[in-house]
Amino acid sequence: DMARFESLLSEKTKLVAVTFASNTTGSIVDVEKVIELAHQHGAQVYVDAVHYAPHHLIDVQQLNCDFLACSAYKFFGPHVGIAYVAPQWLHTLKPYKVEP
């Protein structure tokens, strides 16, 4: 219910975390709308795409998400995480450990 979701947003909302697809029901969330509404209120958006990525292509630029993560093991890859960070936030991260 997007109207209910929007009613919960305010200038105090800093981050919205949303799953792209449910692993239990298979339902797909209108993530583009969630992102649009969250950004209108000044919030960043983290998208969990672990159950969506194996079945659909994802264009993070079209989505306009701030952060997106998934895991390659869901599509028969190794147990590694995949993270996208929008360029405007990338410089704000202070990684604990980075190996070339």
pLDDT digits 0-9 by tens, 37-77: 999 999 999 999 999 998 999 999 999 999 999 998 878 88
Mean pLDDT over 18-45 rounds to: 96
Sign of the CA dihedral running 71, 18, 59, 14: negative
Residue 68 near residue 39, CB atoms below 8 Å:
no
- Look-up of token digits 């909302």: 13
Mean pLDDT over 73-99 rounds to: 85
Could you state, in order of their start, the residue ranges of all structural domains in the chain? 2-89
Q: Can you say how many angstroms the Cα of residue 4 is from the centroid of all Cα atoms in its chain?
A: 20
**pTM higher than 0.85, yes or no?**
yes
Give CA separation, 23 vs 26, 32, 35, in Å.
6, 19, 21
pLDDT value at residue 94? 83
pLDDT value at residue 100? 63
2-89: which CATH architecture? 3-Layer(aba) Sandwich (3.40)
